[in-house]
Amino acid sequence: MSKIYNFFEEHLQSIRKLIQLLFFVYFIYLSGLCLCVLGVIKRFILMGGFYLTSTLVLLLLTLILGRVFCGWVCPLGFIFDITYRLRMKVSKLKFLPTVPEKIHSKLIYLKYGVLILFLYLTYKLSTYAFCKVCPLGTLTNLHGTVISIILLVFFLIMGVVYPMFFCRYFCPIGALLGIFSIRPLFKLKIDDKKCVGCKLCDRRCPVQIELTKNIPQHECIRCFECKTVCNKDAVKFGIYIKQKNNK
């Protein structure tokens, strides 16, 4: 069992990329497949009935592991992940660009407003409101519109400037999953005894979490870049029932 765990840890990012790629190909191949959690909930609002089986499984998984959907499954997250990595490789950046903290700390709440807005519009107008502008709809025959194309281009450009820009500040799915991962069973934690304060984990986090100060579990997309880059094995992911702080 320990050999399997060690292999998984050693090849963590390669395994994650493979899983992301498989889901992305699956999404594009099926074309009409909607992996949007928000879309499933909207179908429930508009049509009633039990359309939430897959979503309930995902929300349960989120309660246990946190926002693994964002870091391991989401096709749009996969695209933005590639975008910022290309920018780093082309520009030969060692550390990720960051939004000024005073601005970033406020913008992260914007996605919750977007979630409330589109759920309200769905209920009020009896239409799939977010689907009309969803950047992901551009990639398939779902609901691609001129607006969704413009938004996709805009967020791709912003994703080059600031990693995972859409995921950080605008994604309503991330907001929904964030609500369910405020206190997940499995948490990301810094082992103070092993941490040497180099802040490599801070500088490689694509959603700009300062792990050495505080780890808001609901903002972490579980990409484990921090765990991969840490040379001291100070970044831990496990069950921590009694925590005096978020580190």
Closest CA to 223 of 83, 66, 91, 104: 66
Single pTM value for the model: 0.82
For residues 179 and 172, give the distance between their C-alpha atoms in angstroms, rounded to a whole number.
11
Q: How confident is the model at residue 33 (pLDDT cuts 50, 70, 90)?
A: very low
- The pLDDT tens digits for 97-146 are 999 999 999 999 999 998 888 888 777 766 666 666 776 665 555 555 67
Is the per-residue pLDDT at 184 higher than 50? yes
- The pLDDT tens digits for 44-78 are 555 544 455 666 778 899 999 999 999 998 888 89
Both tokens assigned to 23: 């889901």
User: What is the structure's pLDDT at 48?
Assistant: 47
Closest CA to 162 of 99, 82, 94, 71: 99
Q: What are the two backbone dihedrals, phi and then psi, of residue 235, each rounded to the nearest 5 degrees? A: -90, 120
Domain regions of the chain by residue span: 2-185
User: What number is the average pLDDT over the span 194-222?
Assistant: 94
- Opening angle at CA 80, ends 116 and 84, nearest 5: 130
Percent of the chain residues topping a pLDDT of 90: 46
